[in-house]
Structure 1
Amino acid sequence: MAQHTVSTPKLAFAPEGLGPEGEDSGATPYERYARLDVLHTLQQPRSKIDAELSFIITTQVMELLFDLLRHEWTRAQHALREDDLTEALAALRRGTHVQDVLNSSWDLLATLTPVEFTAFRPVLGEASGFQSSAFLHLEFLIGNKAEKLLAMYQGSTATHQELAGALRAPSLYDDVLALLARRGLAVDGTPSTARYQPDPAVEEAWRTVYTDPATADLAALAEALLDTAERVTRWRQRHYASVKRSMGAKPGTGGSSGLTWLKAAAEQDVFPELWSVRGAL
């Protein structure tokens, strides 16, 4: 299998105690380490509606967790390429804890009433969570790829290049299938730039994995992947329910069809053969 480079979120480092421009950064070692002087200045509501602050903080927390989840899924990919199932499983399990926190974060937005959201919605303009490059990178990592989505990032060369690289690179599931192929199972792990489509050969491979005692380690991997996939579905369902509760069937701020699009996304299975094979066992 060809070697592929997996990018990870870029971190900016500054000398201890100094910010990116060399200024003093924080009053205590803890504040300097966590860059709290910067963190607590990033919440800038554009309206006088109290609920907007909760909306901003929740979405910023989600973005940070997207980065952490990407980190864990990327570590899982590296481990799979090294045939290190122990580390791959550990990374996937850490990722499920991140997903659990992400899913719980919708509870904060559930407190937002339609009147409150409508009151500050105009200040969002065309801004939409659908435009999150970090979230789109996660979607590409789980095989939900669509090249047309890159168009919205044409104004940022670095972001566009990063996502174009993720589009062309193997997804997490591609790396899993490549591992199955190396273990002698008849599957194709060739990366694609299109959304992953179910393959009967892959379902048959998973049936073999679940029924052959010699592949118990791969069955454990399958269950960890299913834990990941189930939490992706929960995220989509919570997103759908949250939008339905706060704004009903209005079109999305970014021009999407709102509820219609979210409902369709929630009905798409991630790693589909891991679900369909259950009917064959």
Structure 2
Amino acid sequence: MSNHKGCPMSGAGATETSDASWHDAQMDFAKDMSYGDYLALDQILNAQHPLSPEHNEMLFIVQHQTSELWMKLALHELRAARECVRQDQLPPAFKMLTRVSRIMEQLVQAWNVLATMTPPEYSAMRPYLGMSSGFQSFQYREIEFILGNKNAAMLRPHAHQPQHLALLEEALRTPSLYDEAIRLMARRGFAIDAACIERDWTRPAGENASVEAAWLEVYRKPEAHWELYELGEKFVDLEDAFRQWRFRHVTTVERVIGFKRGTGGTEGVSYLRKMLDVVLFPELWKLRTDL
């Protein structure tokens, strides 16, 4: 170990020490779990199966597979955060929501990598994609539902996969993360309309004056409602990051395919631009004007 803080040892002595440590290590992985075993790397690294002869298809596959892994983690955190809010346990939820915002940043960067694919490169591999499209991502759809952008019509692309359809139907029927926050505010004494506490959870909440009034009180007296004040800011951070992800998505798609229709039959860029106007937590954004 180095005697100099912040500075690793260098030179022959360090090499000899490292070599000795290496030889002393237990390396019989037939009896124990290795790094690759723990991470199931054989399955993960052999899950890329390009269908075209194009060099760039590997980029396309890896970018989408890694994005799905990040979405899996985001859902793990969002479900847990929603449960924490439901149980009035906000401090753990803060950490989870912060983590999701950082995951969104990773997803933004993933689009930057895909943007290195030029239109001719994508066009060469596009015929091999069939009807496959990111629009069909059931994990992305659950993220939308848990954040409150509910739309039963979005179940249709998943009708051919019963297990995914059942998961999304449950997510559609379950109160969103924001719904649970509004119910929490009611439990803490804010005058929230009854229609916001028990309603048809399969529909988006829409703006509500009583909810905005409650958030305004929280933001005008943050020292008296610190946990809710922090929760509101975590929501704004999350939506800010989500908007950037959406914007980077539409920009990358326009850069690579222009205004062609998507492989799954969607309107492509036109549809994605409409999604930029969706506001997940409207009262938290409106109060900034009203404060």
Could you state the TM-score of these two structures normalised by the residue count of structure 1? 0.88
Tell me whether 1:243 sits opposite 2:226 in the alignment. no
One of 131, 151, 157 as aligned partner of 2:156: 151
| Unaligned runs of at least 5 residues, structure 2 | 1-28
Tell me whether 1:113 sits opposite 2:111 in the alignment. no
Tell me whether 1:261 sits opposite 2:271 in the alignment. yes
Tell me whether 1:140 sits opposite 2:112 in the alignment. no
One of 232, 238, 244 as aligned partner of 1:234: 244
1:148-187 superposed matches below 5 A: 148-187=153-192
- Aligned position for 1:39: 44
CA distance 1:232–1:189, change in 2 (3 Å) = farther
Deviation at 1:35, TM superposition (A): 0.5
- Aligned position for 2:213: 204
- Aligned position for 1:7: none
* Counterpart Cα distance in 2 of 1:236 and 1:267: 10
One of 46, 69, 78 as aligned partner of 1:73: 78
Kept in 2, the 8 Å contact 1:146–1:193? The answer is yes
* Counterpart Cα distance in 2 of 1:231 and 1:140: 17
* Counterpart Cα distance in 2 of 1:130 and 1:189: 31
Deviations 1:2-37 (A, max 9, x none): xxxxxxxxxxxxxxxxxxxxxx99x97111110111
Deviation at 1:190, TM superposition (A): 3.1
Indicate the SS of the match to 1:112. Answer: coil
Deviation at 1:82, TM superposition (A): 1.6
Could you state the TM-score of these two structures normalised by the residue count of structure 2? 0.85
Deviation at 1:186, TM superposition (A): 2.1
Which stretch has the larger CA shift, 190-199 or 57-66? 190-199
Kept in 1, the 8 Å contact 2:85–2:184? The answer is yes
Q: Output the aligned Cα RMSD.
A: 1.6
Tell me whether 1:280 sits opposite 2:290 in the alignment. yes
- Aligned position for 2:88: 83
1:15-34 superposed matches below 5 A: 29-34=34-39
Indicate the SS of the match to 2:228. Answer: helix
Kept in 2, the 8 Å contact 1:174–1:190? The answer is no
Give percent identity, aligned residues only. 37
Tell me the amino acid that sits aligned with residue 82 of structure 1. Answer: Q
1:119-134 superposed matches below 5 A: 119-134=124-139
| Unaligned runs of at least 5 residues, structure 1 | 1-23
Deviation at 1:230, TM superposition (A): 0.6
CA distance 1:231–1:190, change in 2 (3 Å) = farther
Kept in 2, the 8 Å contact 1:240–1:262? The answer is yes
Structure with max Cα Rg: 2
- Aligned position for 1:8: none
Tell me the amino acid that sits aligned with residue 147 of structure 1. Answer: A
Tell me the amino acid that sits aligned with residue 275 of structure 2. Answer: A
- Aligned position for 2:202: 193
Indicate the SS of the match to 2:126. Answer: helix
Which stretch has the larger CA shift, 137-146 or 196-205? 196-205
